[in-house]
Structure 1
Amino acid sequence: MFPWYSGTSADLLKTLFDLMVSVKVFLGRFDMRTMQVATASEWVAPDPTPQDGDGFTFEHLAEGRELWFDFCADTEETYRTRLFSLYEAALPPPPHVHKGHLVVNKPDVGRGLLCHKATALRRYEGPSSFAIPGNHDWIDGLETFSRHILHRGWLGGWLLPQEKSYWALRLPAGWWVFGIDLALVDDIDTCQYKYFARVAETRMAPTDQAILIMHCPRWLVDWFWGTDTANNLRHLVRGPLRGRARLAVAGDLHFYMRHSFQPYDAPGASSSLVPSAASTPAGGSPVGGSPGSSRAPTPRPDASAPAGVSPTAGFGRPGASSGLRGRSPDPSCPPGGEYRCAAAYPSAQQSESIGRRNLHMFRNMNTRFDVIGGALYYLLVVSVLPRCRHLAAVLEAPDWGTGLSLLLGAAADTVSDIFLESYVSLLALLCMAALALGFAATGGIGAKGDATAADRQRPEFKGRGLAVRARLGGFTTRFLFASLHCAAHVCCAVFLLLLLELGIETVIRHEQLGREGYHSLYKWYRQYEAAHFPDPADMRGAAERWTLGLYPGAIKWAMAAFDAPEAIAVSRDLLCAGRELNRLQALGYYGGVLAYYWLLATPTVALVFGAYLYICVNWFGVHYDEAFSSLQVPDHKGFLRMHITPAGDLEIFSLGLDTVPRAWREDPAWRAPGGGGDAGVPGWRARHPSRWVPVEVRGGYTLRGTPPEAALKVVDYLHVPRQRPVIV
């Protein structure tokens, strides 16, 4: 998993740079999606009619009576781990596929099926796959997605027919799937709008229905951030589609949550987080990012918190359910009903339990965060070293109360010196404050700005008070959170410094450390050597002359390096006496203090930062992405399995896997005849297509574990009946 909290990761720094360039430079001046129309293989007319085989439209799956197909999103961060290694191990590609070769003419079905694109796809009997780019794919301007998806013919054993980043797929019984590319602007471009509008007008019948697939659930994200995006997409749904968009599916958020429309006048209807096998109302907006590389918390609906115009439910009390009201309380609510949370996986209780792990597991999962935290803590106090005042009085205090009071006075004096006298520490403090403020902004704190009393009556403001308050107030709320966060770090850094200084003062007083000056250990060594190893021939003097002082100079400085407490104590006494240090002495003093201070600072900064994430995500409902990406939880995976029945209805099974296997080995049957490793058998026809099987270690023995498919469970079921023509 990607180390998002590693300040030493070159990949992370490159990702941030690419994101800044893509958003601020290219997307503001050029949209790669517009170029796809110009490069379409068969779509060249000024106002073309979409047709099967034009590079955008695919209708080869519409001839069957029923169809099973899956939807999954956010499987990993990199293409190698997210796509090729994963899918090639699950289902090997055909023998004619060569790794690294680009495909010019799609579909790449082999020489035996060379014909028109639409005809070749109809003759192909194996599985196929379609993909849309997510936000990570647009960081480099869609270059990697184009190279590995649009210009490749196979994804493991799945055929990749698509040539563009958005497409329309016709399914049996009048169902369509629209693969929508929102890029990083969270909306479709004009060319994409025209294409889908033409599909709706010329290819879809009045009773056809569309499933919209996009990478980001704007109905949740817009509610959380208080934004209004995807205007072109909204116009497409309300205009050309005119009620034929029955379902919206998205990933990005690493949990499963479904919102379904419920009328106001349904007495006693309620929505619970507990999945049910019973049929639910038609339509809905599932978020299916469960395969994500790190978990995200599942929001908890409040008893009086409907989704309103944005189908979400906010954060609420444990065990609360969503009861319906008899009439619309606000003009902003959709007429006749509203969207409510109908199911979620993992549950809100499980998400809260995972969020608590930040208290004790943040440092274990983000060890390289020590580089950032330790360096900032040390820079915060390096300019106020050493602390010569107050500490002697603390050690001589007659009781604990007086000592604590004097210690607090020393801390206040240290903070005052940081603001009034230091340069490096003040600059580090300003950098930490800026980082805390920016971090609060990215976590959604103060996202909605100020809200009037009338606005607070709207459905999206219902929910747990702390969660609602954290997203209101704009800059004021962000500044408050950032100030408290930064103040906690400054206080810890200062008190750790005073603790270290008290320790040094104690050993100086009671152990007489540093009283003999620098190199006391070497002086003791020379005395011991002269007393026990006499040298009447002056061999040591000759060795010193022959090595030009390298002996015993190397021994002298090696002992000085291992006797850092002495260098710290002697240099501290000199600084407190008002004397200056030369560069070598200063290096020994500040380097020695850094070594000991690092041992205290790194676990403390991780604890404070983990506590901040826990409080924010579990109490205030913000920083959900940051709090769960830090834990890198591999469990609670899932995907959607959809079924178009012979009657034309759509069934959606949300499948979840609570625990992901940790150890794997190659399946011996994979290389046997009829297995996936047999080149003479297509992977999708093999009896054992997957190369790896899970294993478990029990009592020192490695045993075959439970296959993941056997541990899958249905966490939600949705039945969407087919729209049928009305006979007058």
Structure 2
Amino acid sequence: MTHEPNWLLDWYFDKLTGKNVTYLIRDHLKERCRLRIAGDVHHYMRHSYVPSNKPVYVQHLLVNGCGGAFLHPTHVFKNFKEIYGTSYETKAAYPTFEDSSRIALGNILKFRKKNWQFDVIGGMIYFMLVFSMFPQCQLDNILKDDTFSGRLGTFFGTVWDLFMYMLGCSYVSAAGAILLLTIAIVFVPSTVSWKKRLLIGILHVSAHLVAALILMLLMELGVEICIRHKLLATSGYHTLYQWYQSVESEHFPDPTGLRERIEQWTFGLYPACIKYLMSGFDVPEVMAVTRSNICKNGIYPCS
């Protein structure tokens, strides 16, 4: 009995561990070991030897780790066939290889559904990465192209320019990227060499950076198009509250001046709370007005 099934992990990671156990099994027990059992990997797998003329140092290999708080895949080990020069075949696996593969593929969408709180964290990280690049006021080069391919090329060219801007001028975003890179490298398994950990971390963070920049630019384009078609930023921050006031005065007249007295009694909190709550529900309008004001008044080239 050992802590982890190194016969599987050594095969998967292409390494060699457990030399003392191997020496014990091969040189001391000499084909008397009937069963090797281990846990740590959270699934169930049982391999039995394939009868042959070769010496059989271990007859059965058993992973019994189903008591863990989460489940490890089994399909990644389905090609495991040999150890100590003996061939083995899979007798049982839980989850089955098919179920394990289906669960792993389903995690792409189900993870976000079951762990929706992570979207809040991811959104904060993405916002930190592109914080210093809001707003993008010069988007004419993307919108003026007549062909889809031209717009697509200009779009990704702008993404590249934003990436270089982040490295050269956007200190907040660059600091966020460095912090994310450090975390990404730390979370790579320690069994991987430092060069591979660094490469995986850089690729991981680069993918997130590209995704954050693309999403930011798409949002900016959407707001810009709405502004040009006069769907947003038409009258200020409190458009929804102004509409509410017009409907209220039309359908709920106040001949006694009750609303005015309530405003005086609450020191102005009564209309102010409604006004700013409605601004909170009208986020696109607030974004569009803020963006228009910043673009009109100008911003510093670097932040």
CA distance in 2 between counterparts of 1:219 and 1:495 reads: 44
Equivalents in 1 of 2:298, 2:137: separation in Å?
Answer: 13
| Deviation at residue 256 of structure 1 after TM alignment | 0.8
For residue 403 of structure 1, report the CA deviation from its aligned partner. Answer: 1.3
- Which residue of the partner structure matches residue 297 of structure 1? 74
Q: 1:541 to 1:352 in 2, by over 3 A?
A: closer
Superposition deviation, residue 408 in structure 1: 1.2
Per-residue deviation, 1:400: 1.0
What number of residue pairs does the alignment pair up? Answer: 293
Cα distance in structure 2, aligned partners of 1:284 and 1:518: 75
CA–CA distance in 2 between the matches of 1:227 and 1:540?
A: 77
Shift of 1:560: 1.9
2:2 corresponds, among 214, 232, 235, to: 214
Q: Secondary structure of the residue that 1:491 maps to in structure 2?
A: helix
**Structure showing the higher helix proportion among its residues:** 2
Q: What does 1:153-232 align with in structure 2 at a 5 Å threshold?
A: 213-225=1-13, 227-232=15-20
Instruction: Report the AA paired with residue 66 of structure 2.
Output: P
Report the CA distance shift for 1:561/1:374 in structure 2 as closer, same or farther (over 3 A).
closer
TM-score, normalised via structure 2 length: 0.80
Q: Which residue of 2 aligns with 1:342?
A: 89
Question: Cα distance 1:352–1:557, how it changes in 2: closer, same or farther (>3 A)?
Answer: closer
- The secondary structure found in structure 2 opposite 1:514 is coil
Structure label with greater radius of gyration = 1
Aligned-pair CA distance for 1:385: 1.2
Question: TM-score of the superposition, structure 1-length normalised?
Answer: 0.36
**2:35 counterpart of 1:288:** no
1:287 aligned partner, one-letter code: L
The separation in 2 between residues aligned to 1:349 and 1:512, in whole angstroms, is 50
The separation in 2 between residues aligned to 1:529 and 1:363, in whole angstroms, is 41
Between the aligned partners of 1:364 and 1:524, the Cα distance in structure 2 is: 36
Picking from 250, 258, 267, the partner of 2:38 is 250
Contact 1:260 1:282 in 2 (8 A): no
Q: Distance in 2 between matches of 1:434 and 1:403?
A: 35
The match for 2:176 among 425, 428, 435 is 428
- Structure 2 counterpart of 1:551, which letter? Y
Q: Which residue of 2 aligns with 1:488?
A: 207
| Distance in 1, Cα, partners of 2:212 & 2:12 | 34
1:572 is displaced (CA, Å) by 0.6
Aligned twin of 2:262: 543
SS of the aligned residue for 2:47 comes to strand
**Root-mean-square deviation (CA), in Å?**
3.3
What does residue range 578-657 of structure 1 map to in structure 2 within 5 Å?
578=297
Aligned pair in 2 of structure 1 residues 392, 369: CA closer, same or farther (>3 Å)? same
Q: Which residue of 2 aligns with 1:405?
A: 153
**5+ long unaligned stretches in structure 1:** 1-212, 267-280, 312-333, 448-473, 581-728
Structure 1 residue 360, shift from structure 2 partner: 3.5
Q: Which residue of 2 aligns with 1:511?
A: 230
Q: Deviations over 1:512-532 (max 9, x none)?
A: 422322223333444454556
Partner of 1:361: 110
- State the 1:569 CA deviation: 1.0
Instruction: Indicate how the Cα distance of structure 1 residues 289 and 551 shifts in structure 2: closer, same or farther if over 3 A, else same.
Output: same
CA 1:237 to 1:372, structure 2 compared with 1: closer, same or farther past 3 Å?
same
Gaps of 5+ in 2: none
Residue 242 of structure 2 is aligned to residue 523 of structure 1? yes
Cα distance 1:366–1:573, how it changes in 2: closer, same or farther (>3 A)? same
1:558 aligned onto 2:277 = yes
2:232/2:285 contact within 8 Å kept: yes
- 1:256 is paired with a residue whose SS is strand
1:577 to 278, 293, 296: 296
Contact kept, 8 Å, 2:30 with 2:57, in 1: the verdict is no
Q: Secondary structure at the match of 1:373?
A: helix
Residue 560 to residue 349, structure 1, CA distance change in 2 (3 Å): closer
- Counterpart mapping for 1:677-696 below 5 A: none
Q: Return the structure number with greater relative CO, CA threshold 8 A, min gap 6.
A: 1
